[in-house]
Amino acid sequence: MNMMSAKPPTSVSEVDLDVLENTLSFYIRTVNIAVSRDLDDRLEGLDVARGTGKITTLLLVDSHPGIRPSVIAQLILKDRSAMGKLVDQMEGHGLLTRSVSAEDSRALELYITPKGAELAEKVRGLVTRQSADFFEFIPEDEQKQLMDILRRAYRRIAGLS
Amino acid sequence: MNMMSAKPPTSVSEVDLDVLENTLSFYIRTVNIAVSRDLDDRLEGLDVARGTGKITTLLLVDSHPGIRPSVIAQLILKDRSAMGKLVDQMEGHGLLTRSVSAEDSRALELYITPKGAELAEKVRGLVTRQSADFFEFIPEDEQKQLMDILRRAYRRIAGLS
DNA sequence: AAAAAATAGTTGCATTTGTCCACTATCGGG
DNA sequence: CCCGATAGTGGACAAATGCAACTATTTTTT
């Protein structure tokens, strides 16, 4: 296959992507890079930039006081180890506090701090706007389709629904 | 909002995702984690696991002999520096060779080795199968929609089309 | 009631990865 | 011939990820 590729391409527009052209996971992976980068730019200096999980953790602790690290870990697809480091970091930034659960002394309960709550509110706006802006060139209805499908995928992966 | 959260959730199914529930970029980011992990598992020990770009690079060098690092870099959304390291690594594994271009002595031309070609062929199958398997629970037509939309997004991002 | 298994979290480590920045070499246009 | 843009390299460095071992506690078995 692909017998003739006469001259080596010197510009992206001359290139075809081989089998990746029809590989869903390729597009997920590349679009993810772009979307994450753009998001990081907007979170510049906000204590919650870089890596996956900080945002979700912040919002969940804010809206579910007392939630456990292990529950969040499942939702952001991290192991307890990674989650622990995330919590350390965020506690260090004064965004949340941890205390041992009364019912189960193995478990922790996470609570938001005033500073964390403030950031959470700011981040809600930022994140929503970012996603809207980034995918703005896609028609509304297609965005909806896309999200419906990906939501199902996510729920399946995270063991929800 | 979210006035009552009575008891802290102790199980994922009791949690709602706050604004992330309706945030496209959240789903892209999480589904990406799962897809990439699954892919890595299948590439176990294959010289081409981990990180983005190795697969694309391998396939492109194989199907576009003489292609330049900078062209690939654009397609995988990396800077020249990161691309260089990728090429180093793959050359080190004996998957490709680099030589200075005759027309432009600033530029390199990348060529596949027999070992690289063999791996490329194996990877084509693997990657295609992986994507199909992973998204198998999504109906065919929805997969198509999803891919159409993401392809457009990608092409826009990478500066194609 | 004792033992075994499962669960929550911590810690340290090794590996990667991506990024930033400065530097060289070359090409192309005025 | 000079200047700005382009291709690639090399090094330093901050983060992120994943793994495995270890403690403490709860739950299940026998």
Residue A3 in domain:
no
List, as ranges, residues 65-104 from B with C-beta within 8 Å of A. Answer: 65-68, 71, 74-77
Report the residue of chain A nearest B121, measured CA to CA: A19
What pLDDT, in 10s, does the model give residues A68-78? 999 999 999 99
pLDDT of B1 above 70: no
> Is-contact A149 B138, C-beta < 8 A?
yes
Q: Among A25, A67, A127, select the one facing B23 at the smallest CB separation.
A: A127
Alpha helices, DSSP H only, in B5-98? 24-43, 54-63, 69-76, 80-92
Query: What is the domain count for chain A?
Result: 1
Q: Say what the pLDDT of residue A161 is.
A: 77
The whole domain housing A94 covers: 22-133
Residue B135 in domain:
no
Residue A148 in domain:
no
Q: Say what the pLDDT of residue A10 is.
A: 82
Q: What is the CATH number of the domain that holds A105?
A: 1.10.10.10
Residue B29, CB, less than 7 Å from strand C? no
Mean confidence (pLDDT) of chain A: 90
For residue A52, CA distances in Å to A30, B70, B85 come to 16, 28, 24
Residue B108 in domain:
yes
pLDDT of B4 above 50: no
Given pLDDT bands bounded at 50, 70 and 90, which one contains residue A6?
Answer: low
Residue A141 in domain:
no
